[in-house]
Amino acid sequence: MNTATIAGSLLMALISQSRVQAQDPYPPGELGKTVRLGETLVRETNTHPLTKPYVGNVLQCTSCHLDAGRDLKAASFIGVASVYPAYSPRESAVITLEDRILNCFIRSQNGKRPPNGSQVSVAIAAYITWLSKDVPIQMNPKAPLGPNSLRPLKEPAVRPDLARGKSLYADRCSACHSDDGSGSDDGPPVWGHNSFNDGAGLSKVPKMASWLKVAMPPGEADLKIQEAFDIAAFVNSHDRPRFQQPINAKPQRNK
């Protein structure tokens, strides 16, 4: 093999490697494996062996944080890590990103809080931090909300109406979430024992309406503000699990 042939082979190898790297934006080595695991856990929260023991319903993180938190409009993870540590009014304490992630398990997942520092905790935090890698750090002294957090809607002048919400739900939502809210292969349950509990943010009508306005129906998200509030009121008029504060739910700090 002559020098020109060797040089050509090396050049082709370098080009091939650069193409692979361009297609694989994750960090290299063990960190990249952990980031990938975090994304997998976000997408398979209720079925993955690592997270399943801590989940009490059939939801995944990506049920609310669409496209595993990559969707900039619907409760995006992008930039979230940049605001932590942050003050949390709900916890009356300064919390870490890990704290915020783990508390979702006892509210939105209606389950148990995984231990701080566990493989679950570290992997999901690593994934969210990786998604936030280009966002400047600016800790939030008021609330644990990132730069792409859900923007709250101003409540309409006309109060939400359950009858209108029921009709809109049947027309715009039931095909994916079923008439009885129990969900299907196309959409998660939105009330009942397999849904989030009443301690989750989406159990509040204004939060639910704000999320519906930017996220639903998938690929359209064309609800009017009044329609979003009507559907949110109807959905949240149904029973769902009660939130019970676990003893170990709040972050433990040395005094």
Rounded to an integer, the average pLDDT of 166-174 is 97
pLDDT in tens, 7-19: 444 444 444 334 3
Residue 117 — left, alpha, or beta (φ > 0 → left; ψ -120 to 50 → alpha)?
left
pLDDT in tens, 89-138: 998 999 999 999 999 999 999 999 999 999 999 999 999 999 999 999 99
Q: Are 88 and 100 in contact (CB under 8 A)?
A: yes
Closest CA relative to residue 129, chosen from 35, 208, 206, 24: 35
Rounded to an integer, the average pLDDT of 179-205 is 97
Cis peptide before 28 (omega within 30 of 0): no
Could you give the maximum distance between any two Cα atoms of the chain, in Å?
Answer: 81
pLDDT in tens, 11-41: 444 443 343 334 458 999 999 999 999 999 9
- Give residue 13's pLDDT: 42
Per residue in 136-156, is it b (16+ CB within 10 Å) or e — as a string?
Answer: eeeebeeebebbbebeebeee
- Give residue 73's pLDDT: 87
The first and second tokens of residue 240, run together, are 């769902």
Where exactly are the structural domains of the chain? 29-131, 150-255
Rounded to an integer, the average pLDDT of 184-200 is 96
- Contacts for 249-252 with beta carbons within 8 Å, 24 or more apart? 249/103, 249/106, 249/113, 250/91, 250/93, 251/91, 251/93, 251/95, 251/96, 251/99, 251/116
Q: Return mean pLDDT, the chain.
A: 89
Angle between helices 119-131 and 29-43 (to 10 degrees): 100
Q: What is the pTM of this model?
A: 0.85
Instruction: Give the chain's end-to-end CA distance (angstroms, integer).
Output: 71
Domains 29-131 and 150-255 share a fold: yes
Q: Are 16 and 22 in contact (CB under 8 A)?
A: no
Write down the CATH superfamily of domain 29-131: Cytochrome c-like domain (1.10.760.10)
- Give residue 220's pLDDT: 87
- Give residue 24's pLDDT: 55
Is residue 230 very low, low, confident or very high in pLDDT (cuts 50, 70, 90)?
very high
Domain 150-255: give its CATH architecture: Orthogonal Bundle (1.10)
